[in-house]
Structure 1
Amino acid sequence: MLELCFDMSTCGALRVAQRCGGSGRKGFGFVLSRTEDGGNVTSTTVIGFDDGKAPAGEEIHQIQRAQRRQAALEREAIPLGGSPSDVLVLSLGLDMGDIREPLGADRWDLLRRWCDGDDETTDRDWQRNLEAAERLRSCGSRDAVRIWVDHTPYGACGLLHAASLLKDTKADVRVVFLPPWRERPDGVVETYLGWGEVEPELFGRFLSREEPLPPVMLGAMAHRWEVLRQENAPLRAVVNGRVRSVGEDFYDEMIRRHLPEGQTKIANIIGEVLGREKPGIGDVWLAERIRQMLSTGELRMLREDRERFYRSVVERT
């Protein structure tokens, strides 16, 4: 079974999900990231493995809560099985930019710019995209592909693009749609926008939602993708459950709603939009639109950080 997703975070989670629970992933340590102001700890976050320092107080409670949560996840875990090489990713960000050649040089250049000059990472990820696309095209009637679909614009566009790669292969294609919410055994309700928000231990729990994607649907999706390619709008968004071409200013009102009175860092604006509006896009496009607002005079640059744009301070004009 090939597992297909549309972002690197989900790709990593799927690989862990293949072997989690049972004899798979068990136990972990912690390192606490501490933010201090004048000697006072203002925040602590569990981010990794034990660095040898002895935690105390609230840090211990954080560790204990995280350990209990991990133990609960392990009890729920249903391993997907398979090999890491069976996990494919098409991380192309197809909701943004020119899509006439989704696997062409222009898309590669665009991804390189979005990765802020990290050529090594971009080149590695691009090669994985090309390999995934070729493997999908080469599927036959004996192959099965399970596509993990969520509510993000890039995921919806990724599904349509994948359909165009698979429509003539006769492969057994299935989809698992991410539900908008899930009730945990302890009664807590978790809400989801993308598969990247789901713990690896839970992926197997969603297999009951798996549905076949018949050839007629693959053909319809492939046709829809071709229409979008021909329109080649600056953006694509999910509007009333359907992927549509939209203008480059589609998210501008969301940005305006989170422009405070007075000065603020660009990072704060983007964080508010992503956290409160949950548009299902990354920070790249929002940063581009803020640059546009600066160029038109809607925003004024107060303190520019030429190395890290997000640290720059702006205000409304």
Structure 2
Amino acid sequence: MVQVVFSESAAGSLKMALSLDGCIGGATAVAFLGGEPSPAERLAAQRRAEEQERRARAAAVPMEGSPADVLAFPLALSVGPLEEDAPGPRRLEALTTLCAHWPEGPRQAAGSLAGAQKNLAELLRRVRAGEPVRVWQGPEPDEVCGLFWLAWQLQNAGLADAAVERATLPEYEVREDGTVVEYAGWGEVSPYDWGRMAARVRPVPGPVLRMWGHRWAALCRENAPLRAVVNGQLRSVPEDFYDFLLLREIARQPETFREAEVIGQVLGRYRPGIGDGWLAGRMENFIRRGLLEPITAPEPGRPAYARTLRKK
């Protein structure tokens, strides 16, 4: 069975899940916030983390398949133009823009596109050979876009009647210790949890798959700069759709502030379903409009938004 995901982090986690055989594991790292812990506190925390790891591994539900079945399409389809039948130069342009704040951004963008192009050819080959497809879809705009895009790709290739099933990400989970875990996307799921979550898999009827393909075609005709999930529906939206969240966080800052702090607060507090690349681009827009000005530059190797800004 072909396993489709829409981010590299989800692909890595799922590949580990498909490799679980009782021997996967390693050093367990523990991070501390605040002051430096004592040796006893560090040891106790390490032991708790190792016990949690052991329990998670013991409770993992085995999955059928191999890591080679995982095909990732990290195309960030919620942003940028939709003018190509298959991922090409225009999609590379969108990916490069999203990665522009990192020194290695252009290389990463090119790698993501090349991997997706290769995986699309492999997906169509295996579906034509009669293999079923399982799509792991969460609430993030990129994952919903990916689902509709995949349906359109199958339809466009004459494979609208392919055997497709969908695994949806739960909104939240309550663990035995009372902790509530919320997931924004499949990239946040532990390798030990995929097998259990596979119980949420449901087949996709052919008419539904074709409906999703038609919806993607409609979004392509609209060709907006951005797509977002609004009231549970994927919609074309203007490029300033998320600006109010940034402006709200900027208003809470002093006259000078760290740009990364604002972007991190928006991602952590609101979980908008968009990544740091898009938000960094909108901050650049504020600078061009004269709302903000940089007063420091990022250190070598750091993202462009690792700097201090001043309100104007």
TM-score, with length taken from structure 1? 0.88
In structure 1, how many angstroms separate the alpha carbons of the residues matched to 2:224 and 2:299? 30
1:196 aligns with 2:187: yes
Structure 1 residues 34, 216: CA separation in 2 closer, same or farther (over 3 Å shift)? closer
Q: 2:176 aligns with which of 176, 179, 185?
A: 185
Structure-to-structure mapping, 1:50-129, within 5 angstroms = 56-101=39-84, 103-115=87-99, 116-118=102-104, 119-129=106-116
CA 1:214–1:34: 2 relative to 1, 3 Å: closer
* Alpha-carbon distance in structure 1 between the residues aligned to 2:169 and 2:79: 22
Give yes or no for contact 1:136–1:166 (8 Å, CA) kept in 2. Answer: no
Equivalent AA in structure 2 for residue 136 of structure 1: L
TM-score scaled by length of structure 2: 0.89
**Corresponding position of 2:136:** 148
Structure 1: segments with no counterpart, 5+ residues: 36-40, 45-54
1:162-192 C-alpha deviation (Å, 9 max, x unpaired): 1111233232100000011012233322111
Cα deviations by residue, 1:175-230 (Å, 9 ceiling, x for unpaired) = 00001101223332211111111111001111121111111111111111011111
- Write the letter of the residue equivalent to 2:8: M
Higher relative contact order by CA 8 Å / sep ≥ 6: 1 or 2? Answer: 2
Q: Residues 60-119 of structure 1, C-alpha deviation per residue, up to 9 Å, x if partnerless?
A: 122112101111211220122212111001110000111212501121233234333535
- The aligned residue for residue 159 of structure 1 is 147
**Percent identical:** 33
Deviates more, 1:4-13 or 1:187-196: 187-196
Match of 1:262 in 2: 255
Q: In structure 2, what is the equivalent of residue 130 of structure 1? A: 117
Give the stretch that moved more between structures: 199-208 or 299-308.
Answer: 299-308
SS in 1 for 2:170: coil
The runs of 5 or more residues in structure 2 that have no matched partner are none
Give the strand-richer structure, 1 or 2: 1
From the superposition, tell whether residues 32 and 205 of structure 1 become closer, same or farther in structure 2 (CA, over 3 Å). Answer: closer
CA contact (8 A) 1:266 1:309 kept: no
Question: What is the CA-CA distance between 1:31 and the residue it aligns to?
Answer: 5.5
How far does the alpha carbon of each residue in 1:15-73 deviate from its partner, in whole angstroms, 9 at most, with x for none?
A: 011122x53424x22456789xxxxx8468xxxxxxxxxx9232212211210111121
Task: Count the aligned residue pairs.
Answer: 300
Alignment check: 8 A CA contact 2:168 2:201 kept: yes
Measure, in 1, the Cα distance between the counterparts of 2:36 and 2:107.
Answer: 33
Cα deviation for residue 315 of structure 1 reads 2.8
Once superposed, what is the RMSD of the aligned Cα atoms? 2.1
CA deviation profile, 1:90-149 (whole Å, cap 9, x unmatched): 110000111212501121233234333535444333222012211233313721100000
